[in-house]
Every structure is written in C-alpha cells, then in structure tokens.
Amino acid sequence: MNVADKLVAMVLALAAFAVVIGLILFVVSLLERRGARRVAWFFVGPTVLLLIVGLLYPAGRTVVRSLFDAAGSSFIGIANYTAIFSSPDQLVVLRNTVLWVLVTPFVATLVGLLYAIWVNGARGESAAKALIFLPMAISFVGASIIWKFVYEYRFYDPDVRVNPEQIGLLNQVLVWLGMQPQQFLLNQPWNNLFLIVVMIWIQAGFAMTILSAAIKAIPAEITEAARLDGVSASQLFRFVTVPAIRPTLVVVLTTIAIGCLKVFDIVRTMTGGLYGTSVVANEFYTQSFTAGNQGLGAALAVLLFVLVIPIIVYNVRQLRQAEAR
C-alpha cells in the first residue's frame, strides 16, 4: 500500500467515524422529543447488553461448569468444591491466599500512611512521593522480574575457598555480613512472605497517594485546636488523623485486599506456583489450562468471585455511611 492509498484509507475511516457520530446524534435528537428516559436507554442499553454477554453469561457458564468433572461430560455436583476444602494441595492454596489478604493490605497501608505523614509539608515532598509511587508505574510482571533478580541465589559452599559471586542483591548483602546466602523463593513457608513483599512494594505508593490527599483535606482548624489543647504527636495521629481519614483507609484496605485475592502475575512469574506458593488465581489457571481439570478450575474461579463479594459490599456500605455524615 503506497502513501496515496494510506491517505485515502485514513480519509474514509474519518468519514465513517463522522457518519456514525452524526447518526448517533440524529437518533438522540429524535429521542429527546419523546422524553429524556428514552435517550438514557439509548446509551445504557448497549452497556447492559455487553454486561449480559460479556459478564453474566460467562459467569453463569462458569458456575455450571464447576458442577461437572474435569472433561465437562459428567455431572458431579459439589464434588469440585469439596475437593477445594479437603485436598491437602488445595488447602495450601487457600492458606496462601488468606496470608496474602491478611498481611499485604495492612502492611502496605501502614507503610503508605506513615510515609504520607512523614513527608507531609516537608521540603522535597513531591520528589519523595514520586519515589515511592514509581513502582506503581511498573507492571506486576516487570516488578516480579526485578525482585526475582533481588532474590537470585547461586550455589554456595562454606567449605570452598572461592564461591561464585552472588548476583542477587539480598544474597550479596548476606555474604558481605558473613552469612550464607539463602534460596528465598524455595524455602517454605517463608517464600510466600518474600512474594508478598513485592506486592507491598507496589501498593505502598498507591496507599500513600490516596491517604496523603485525605490527610491534606483535614481542616487546619481541627489540628490547630488539638495542638492548643496540648495533644502530643501520637495522640494527634490516633484521635484526629485516623478518625478523619477512616473512610479513605477502608477504601485503600479493601482495594488492596481485592487485588491480593486476584494476585496472579507475581506468583506466576517468580515461582510458577511451585514450592507451596500457589494462590487461588494461579491455581485456577493451572487447573484449567495446564492440568486440564476445567471443573476444578471453574470451581476455583467461582470461589474467587464469592470471596470478593463481601469485601465489595463492605466497601460500598462504608462509602454510603461516610456520605451520609
């Protein structure tokens, strides 16, 4: 295709776009004469249709598939769900998922909150915030590769005079301190905590950004009145700052918790779910596309959906209570 053909194709594409937009505006103008409700349905209707086709129908199919065997040919009822809560391997998966949800949101939020308070009003505040927010600009896979190099291990024998140089930053630090390097991603159950560190590193910047905005929104009169009453810094944090930003804390905690329930990239990239590190999202992928057990994979997907619902409901309820105040 030469330059002239490309220009013609571009002009035709722009003309087609203009025709479609014009047609939409023409239909809207006709519907406006019959009432605003018809105009609303003209825009909402396609969205509802896409939700039914792209969300509700696949969800229903997944629930149905979870009631069948691995090949999807024989109905077995809730046997797949029973396997999730009885199989030793699946119990490890559930344990790891619970560990992610309990540890990551609270630690990441605490780090972000303390950092936001520490740099609030300080010189170079913008640069300090940008520094901790940078990991948010990296994909989960990219962050996992970075930390995989940090945890990298090379064979080490204390009885050998010359050992290969450790290229992993953490293990090299251990060697400098006179300690033996460790296989951080293989040693159970601590390897799960080292994977969680990656998620905390990414999410701390998110927590800091949201909480910093909430802290700056606290009226200055409240903090000044507290200081005039002789409140210490710790009391100011406990009795003024935290209650004032409580709705924001709930949003941050629940958002990170939902992300932890769905975590897949970090586990898949760093360990592949091996060495006792698999979580529900990774196990769903493994059972569905590697082990060929689509029934169990569908059951895990349904379980993941069910686990997310209470967190979302709680989040929405807290937001409504905050708006009602």
- Model pLDDT for residues 119-170, shown as the tens digit of each residue: 887 788 888 888 888 998 889 999 999 999 999 988 776 666 666 778 888 9
Residue 95: predicted pLDDT: 94
Q: Both 230 and 284 in a single domain?
A: yes
Here the tokens at position 20 are: 């479609």
Residue pLDDT, tens place only, 297-309: 999 999 998 888 8
Residue 75 placed within a domain: no
128 and 53 in a single domain? The answer is no
Last residue of a domain, one of 65, 99, 115: 65
Do 131 and 35 belong together in one domain?
no
Predicted pLDDT at 298: 92
209 with 243, same domain: the answer is: yes
Residue 79 maps to a domain: no
Residues 58 and 104 in one domain: no
Structure tokens at 200: 């905390």
Q: In terms of C-beta density within 10 A (0-12 exposed, 13-18 middle, 19 or more buried), how is residue 42 classed?
A: middle
| Burial of residue 158, with CB atoms counted within 10 A of its CB: 0-12 exposed, 13-18 middle, 19 or more buried | exposed
Q: What share of the chain is helix, strand, coil (3-state, %, to 5)?
A: 75, 0, 25
Q: Are residues 247 and 213 in the same domain?
A: yes
Q: Average pLDDT per run of 10 along the chain, which is 325 residues long?
A: 78 85 73 61 73 85 91 89 92 94 94 90 85 89 94 77 78 86 89 95 93 88 82 82 87 91 93 92 91 91 90 80 69
Task: Identify whether 300 is part of a domain.
Answer: yes
- Can you give the pLDDT at residue 32? 63
With beta carbons less than 8 A apart as the criterion, state whether 151 and 185 touch: yes
CA distance 100 to 94: 10
Dist. CA 179–CA 201, nearest whole Å: 25
In a domain? residue 262 = yes
Q: Is residue 301 part of a domain?
A: yes
* % of the chain with per-residue pLDDT over 70: 91
Q: Which domain holds residue 268?
A: 86-324
Same domain, 51 and 144: no
pLDDT at site 44: 73
Last residue of a domain, one of 17, 36, 65: 65
Is 241 within 8 Å of 218 (Cβ atoms)? Answer: yes
Q: Global pTM?
A: 0.82
User: Residue 251 is which amino acid?
Assistant: V
Q: What letter represents residue 264's amino acid?
A: F
User: Can you give the CATH number for the domain in which 272 is found?
Assistant: 1.10.3720.10
Distance CA 236, CA 57 (A): 51
Residue whose C-alpha is closest to residue 193's, from 103, 58, 63: 103
Query: What is the C-alpha to C-alpha distance for residues 110 and 45, in angstroms, rounded to an integer?
Result: 43
Same domain, 162 and 217: yes
Find, among 76, 65, 60, the residue nearest to 300 by Cα.
65
Q: Hey, what are 217's tokens? A: 């929104």
Could you give the 3-state DSSP secondary structure of residue 80? helix
**Using CA atoms in the order 11, 13, 17, 22, what is the torsion angle rounded to 10 degrees?**
50
Residue 235 lies in a domain: yes
Instruction: Supply the pLDDT for residue 175.
Output: 84
- Number of compact structural domains in the chain: 2
Residues 160 and 233 in one domain: yes
**192 with 240, same domain?**
yes
CA distances 126 to 15, 29, 134, 212, 267, Å, are 45, 47, 12, 11, 32
Mark whether 264 and 310 lie in a shared domain: yes
Scored b (16 or more CB within 10 A) or e, 272-306 reads ebeebbbbbbbbbbbbbeeeebbbbbbbbbbbbee
Say yes or no: 37 and 90 in one domain. no
The verdict on residue 78 lying in a domain is no
Q: Distance between CA 80 and CA 313 in Å, rounded?
A: 26
pLDDT for res 325? 64
- Angstrom distance (rounded) from CA 108 to CA 206: 9
Angstrom CA distances, 59 to 65, 308, 314, stand at 10, 14, 22
- 74 located within any domain: no
Residue 264 pLDDT: 93
Q: Dmax over Cα atoms in the chain, in whole Å? A: 89
Please report how the helices 36-51 and 3-32 are oriented relative to each other, as an axis angle in degrees rounded to 10. 130
Name beta bridge partners: 138: none
> For residue 184, which amino acid is it?
F
Which one-letter DSSP state was computed for residue 75?
A: B
